Every structure is written in structure tokens, then in C-alpha cells.
């Protein structure tokens, strides 16, 4: 698996923005949507290669798709949301990633 295929995109949400405040010390944490087949070692190497930072730890979570139902005038429409894998990457002390530098 190619390293560029492992990281799909960073997650930038309010909940992820409060992650550094929840842990002791001055370590930065970032969330990424990753390939479902990627393991923690591959994720850490991909972050290190793409952003040039030292990774301290990786935590992963698998989310299953939810069944959704929508009622319309003519019929009931059922569907399912996509399943995905999320990785929380903790960087070494005094390391950070600037996602907004290209703007």
C-alpha cells in the first residue's frame, strides 16, 4: 500500500481542536481519516513522511455505517452511510502540523 493512499484527509472539527487541552503536557494531537486496511505503524510512517514530524503514538477507531431512513411523499427511502476508520495521531513534544499554511 502506498503511503499517500493511507491518509485520506485530516479531520478538522471542534472536538479535534480541543484534544491537546485534554492531555497533560504540551503534545499536539491530530485526527485523520485513513484507509480501513492501514495499521498503526503504516499510519505513523505516512504522517512522518508527509508532514516531516515525529509521531509519538497512534490510536485508531473503526466506525460502521449507520442505517438511515427518510420519509418522502411517495415512499420511504432507506440507505446507509459509509463506514470509515479514524486515527488520532499524537506527536512528539514541540512538534506541530500547520494545515493552514497553504491558504
Contact 78, 69 (CB under 8 A): yes
Asked whether residue 101 is assigned to any structural domain, the reply reads no
Q: Is residue 98 part of a domain?
A: no
**DSSP H or E run through 16:** helix 14-17
In a domain, 59, yes or no: yes
Task: Kindly report, residue by residue over 33-65, the tens digit of the pLDDT.
Answer: 999 999 999 999 999 999 899 999 999 999 999
CATH of the domain at 81: 3.30.70.330
Its pTM stands at: 0.82
Q: What is the pLDDT of residues 83-100, one digit of tens each?
A: 999 999 998 888 888 777
Whether 50 is covered by a domain: the verdict is yes
Instruction: Report how far residue 13's alpha carbon sits from residue 3's, in angstroms, rounded to the nearest whole number.
Output: 24
Q: Tell whether 30 is covered by a domain.
A: yes
Distance of CA 45 to the CA centre of its chain: 15
State the Cα–Cα distance between residues 42 and 45, nearest whole angstrom.
Answer: 5
Give the count of domains, the chain.
1
Show the domain range for 14: 3-91
Amino acid at each position: 500500500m502506498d503511503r499517500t493512499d493511507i491518509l485520506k484527509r485530516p479531520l478538522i472539527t471542534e472536538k479535534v481542536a480541543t484534544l491537546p487541552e485534554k492531555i497533560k503536557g504540551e503534545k499536539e494531537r491530530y485526527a485523520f481519516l485513513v484507509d480501513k486496511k492501514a495499521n498503526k505503524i503504516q499510519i505513523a510512517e505516512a504522517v512522518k513522511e508527509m508532514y516531516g514530524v515525529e509521531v509519538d503514538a497512534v490510536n485508531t477507531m473503526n466506525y460502521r455505517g449507520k442505517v438511515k431512513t427518510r420519509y418522502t411523499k411517495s415512499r420511504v427511502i432507506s440507505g446507509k452511510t459509509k463506514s470509515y476508520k479514524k486515527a488520532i495521531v499524537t506527536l512528539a513534544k514541540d512538534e506541530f502540523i500547520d494545515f493552514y499554511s497553504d491558504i
